[in-house]
Amino acid sequence: MSSDETGAALPADARAAWEAYLAMRESKQAYFSLLSEMDEKQQAGRQASREESDRLAELLQRHDTNVRAFNQAMAAITEPASRQALLMKLQADQKP
């Protein structure tokens, strides 16, 4: 992973928020991947297993925790330059 992907060039407070963002992005992807698999199963006339439903609930809980951590990390950024650097990085991450 390059320093750009890790956010190493960011100020420390912004780097913490970047890392929280990456965790939030990953947990969102995991949740939606399983949700999509379960939806496909339902469209094919099958039901999700109890294990899949339990796993989906775990993934949602993990994502909720990651969202809270991201919000806390964002609130901890006090320097406008740090916030701006992070916002630029977040914006760049949204581009395809």
**For 13-41, how does the pLDDT look when each residue is reduced to its tens digit (9 = 90+)?**
999 999 999 999 999 999 999 999 999 99
d(CA 33, CA 12): 32
* Whole-number pLDDT of residue 94: 86
**Cα dist from 80 to 12, 49, 56, 76, whole Å:** 13, 48, 37, 11
Virtual CA dihedral for 28, 30, 33, 39, nearest 10 degrees?
-80
Give yes or no for residue 1 having a pLDDT over 50. Answer: no
Sorted by where each begins, the domain ranges of the chain are 11-93
Q: What is the pLDDT of residues 36-84, one digit of tens each?
A: 999 999 999 999 999 999 999 999 999 999 999 999 999 999 999 999 9
Residues 79, 76: Cα–Cα separation, whole Å:
9
